Every structure is written in structure tokens, then in C-alpha cells.
């Protein structure tokens, strides 16, 4: 499988201009996606893809499929750890997942979510947690949720050398404060959302992610900031798009949000494989001679 070429990372000119390469003795060197590549993508009017990943194999597969950004999301809470929301997941739970993803992705930029409670208390707390995700989790950047009131936090983190993606609009960690899963930025809230994006970008955020925002509002935010934007349920004017991988590949069951497009039906595929395996074991058909020593 060849790597995707969404932002021209493998062109000869780009290779010459790029920084240090990730070298694997068994495979060709691959240039790491950097935050400036995402900005170039916006300048060129192109798009990049982002998916969540929480483990070695998905990270490897998505990386080799050319996905430019992998998010070790706090959505691991309700997609890996069995919680109902993203709120209970902790730094200690996310760090090993982040390490696995970062070790397995040779090209993608790996962004780690700072979990609820790990950055809200003070800018110092945010810097300390961000440092852990870069140092122990091997992430290349972190994401925090919040409005313009987090601008000083973002500034402190960026000054400490931590690239920050700002998540605005519907912010799942504030689900209870926001009154549930609701589209944000409608009506008079539109200006507030634009102000949030501008303040966070001015504070040094390298990217603004918008969740569940009307497409026209997301387009206005994208116009208002120079940095690239990412959308999830925010229309198609943003520079990038992100989905939770279990939604994108149809592994999760139950009701899907309107913004989810399923590109596969892994749940059915996996269930059929498990049923077939169970039947063959019970009937004595597996393991046959070909799988025995």
C-alpha cells in the first residue's frame, strides 16, 4: 500500500524542503506531517483527513492509508473504556494509548486530547499535562476544549513548546453544561464562536477544530482565522475533517449522529467472523491439520 499524498508530502520538492525524516531500516523513509504542512494545506485551498486512533493496528493502517492527522481522542472513554461519555477518562488511561499510536504512525501528526480535569484548573496545570502527553505519550501536539477564556492557557502551553489544537463549538467534556449534544453557534451565538476561534488562534493555537456547528458558521470561522480548521459536523468549508474511527468504519452500533458517514460495516464483518469461529470450534472443525503442528 502506498501512502496518501493529500498534502504533497512525498513530492520531490517537498522531500527536499522537509525536515528530519523518520527512518525505518526495512522501509523507505517517510516525512512526518508537521503543523506547517497543515497550514500549507489551507493556503493551497486543499483538505486533510484526521481520524481517531487508540491502538497500534488502527494507527498503522490509517497512517499507511495516508490519513494526515491521528487523534488519540478522549472519545477513547466511550469507544475503548466502556464509559457513556468522554468525561471519566483519565490522563493515566490515555497516555499508554497515545504511546501506542505515536510508536505506530510513521507519517501522521499525532494529536492527543487532554482529558477533562487535566487542564482547566490553571495554565500551569495545562502545561504540566501537555508536557506529559509529549514526553510520556510521544504525541506531537495536544487538543483542548474551550472558549476564548482558554486563550491564556493556550498561550502558556505554546510558549512552553506544546502545539495546541483548540476545540470549540460542541465540546463533549462540557456536555452537562451545554445541556446535551446540541448544535452550537446558531443565531446570536455565531459571533461568539467566531470570537472564540480568533482569540484562540491569536493565542497561538495551530488549528481550530469545530464540532456540531452550522456549515455557514464554520465557513465564517474558517475565513476569520489564518490557521487551518477541522470540522466534525461542521460542513465542508473547513481545511480538514475528523471522525471517530469506529463511526467511520461502522464498528460501533446504535444511533449515529447526522454528521457520521460510514465507509464500511466492520460490526457485521467482525460478528460474522466470530460466529464462524465459534461454530468451527464447537464442531471440532478448527483447528484442522493445516493449523496443527
Q: Which segment (73-81, 122-130, 219-227, 281-289) binds ligand KIV by CB under 6 A?
A: 73-81
CA distances from 254 to 78, 170, 246, 251, 257 (A): 13, 21, 12, 10, 10
The nearer residue to ligand KIV, 15 or 257, going by C-beta atoms, is 257
- Which residue number places its CB atom closest to ligand KIV? 73
Residues 220-279 that bind ligand KIV (CB under 6 A): 232, 242, 244
The nearer residue to ligand KIV, 151 or 212, going by C-beta atoms, is 212
Q: Which segment (59-67, 71-79, 119-127, 178-186) binds ligand KIV by CB under 6 A?
A: 71-79
Q: Which segment (22-30, 33-41, 68-76, 247-255) binds ligand KIV by CB under 6 A?
A: 68-76
The nearer residue to ligand KIV, 73 or 185, going by C-beta atoms, is 73
Site string for ligand KIV, 128-167 (x = CB under 6 A): ---------------------------------------x
In terms of Cα–Cα distance, which of 231, 123, 130, 116 is closest to 177?
116
- Out of 68, 74, 196, 247, the only residue in the binding site for ligand KIV (CB under 6 A) is 74
In terms of Cα–Cα distance, which of 202, 227, 96 is closest to 210?
227
Give the active site residue among 92, 191, 211, 226. 211
The nearer residue to ligand KIV, 219 or 244, going by C-beta atoms, is 244
Q: Which segment (9-17, 24-32, 69-77, 274-282) binds ligand KIV by CB under 6 A?
A: 69-77
Helices (H) and strands (E) in the chain, counts: 12, 10
Q: Using CA atoms in the order 17, 11, 38, 80, what is the torsion angle rounded to 10 degrees?
A: -120
SS3 call for 229: strand
Residues 9-38 that bind ligand KIV (CB under 6 A): none
C-alpha cell at 232: 466534525
Tell me the closest approach of the beta carbon of residue 119 to ligand KIV, in angstroms. Answer: 14
Is 211 considered catalytic here?
yes
Q: Is the peptide bond preceding residue 287 cis, with omega within 30 degrees of 0? A: yes
Q: What is the total count of residues that contact ligand KIV (CB under 6 A)?
A: 12
C-alpha cell at 159: 510558549
**d(C-alpha 127, C-alpha 235), whole Å:** 32
> What SS3 string covers 183-200?
CCCCCCHHHHHHHHHHHH
Under rule CB under 6 A, residue 113 binds ligand KIV: yes
**d(C-alpha 142, C-alpha 161), whole Å:** 11
The CB density around residue 66, as the number of other CB atoms within 10 Å, is 19
Q: What are phi and psi of 263, to 5 degrees?
A: -100, 0
User: Using CB under 6 A as the criterion, which residues of the chain lie in contact with ligand KIV when the complex forms?
Assistant: 52, 71, 73-75, 113, 167, 209, 211, 232, 242, 244
Amino acid at each position: 500500500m502506498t501512502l496518501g499524498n493529500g498534502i504533497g508530502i512525498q513530492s520531490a520538492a517537498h522531500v527536499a524542503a522537509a525536515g528530519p525524516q523518520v527512518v525505518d531500516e526495512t522501509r523507505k523513509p517517510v516525512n512526518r506531517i508537521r503543523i506547517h504542512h497543515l497550514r500549507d494545506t489551507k493556503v493551497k485551498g486543499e483538505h486533510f483527513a484526521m481520524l481517531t486512533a487508540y491502538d497500534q493496528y488502527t494507527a498503522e493502517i490509517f497512517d499507511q492509508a495516508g490519513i494526515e492527522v491521528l487523534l488519540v481522542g478522549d472519545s477513547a472513554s466511550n469507544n475503548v473504556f466502556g464509559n457513556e461519555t468522554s468525561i471519566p477518562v483519565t490522563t493515566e488511561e490515555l497516555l499508554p494509548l497515545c504511546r501506542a499510536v505515536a510508536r505506530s504512525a510513521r507519517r501522521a501528526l499525532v494529536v492527543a486530547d487532554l482529558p477533562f480535569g487535566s487542564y482547566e484548573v490553571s495554565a500551569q496545570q495545562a502545561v504540566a499535562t501537555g508536557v506529559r502527553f509529549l514526553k510520556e505519550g510521544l504525541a506531537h501536539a495536544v487538543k483542548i476544549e474551550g472558549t476564548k477564556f482558554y486563550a491564556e492557557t493556550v498561550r502558556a502551553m505554546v510558549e512552553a513548546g506544546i502545539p495546541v489544537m483548540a476545540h470549540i463549538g460542541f465540546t463533549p467534556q462540557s456536555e452537562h453544561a451545554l445541556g446535551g449534544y446540541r448544535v452550537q453557534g446558531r443565531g446570536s451565538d455565531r459571533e461568539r464562536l467566531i470570537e472564540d476561534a480568533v482569540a484562540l488562534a491569536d493565542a497561538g493555537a495551530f488549528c481550530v477544530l469545530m464540532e456540531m456547528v452550522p456549515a455557514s458558521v464554520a465557513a465564517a470561522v474558517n475565513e476569520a482565522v489564518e490557521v487551518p480548521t477541522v470540522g466534525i459536523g461542521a460542513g465542508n468549508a473547513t481545511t480538514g475533517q475528523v471522525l471517530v474511527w469506529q463511526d467511520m468504519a461502522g464498528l460501533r452500533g446504535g444511533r449515529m449522529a447526522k454528521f457520521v458517514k460510514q465507509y464500511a460495516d466492520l460490526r457485521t464483518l467482525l460478528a460474522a467472523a466470530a460466529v464462524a469461529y465459534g461454530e468451527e470450534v464447537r464442531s471440532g472443525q478448527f483447528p484442522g491439520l493445516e493449523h496443527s503442528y
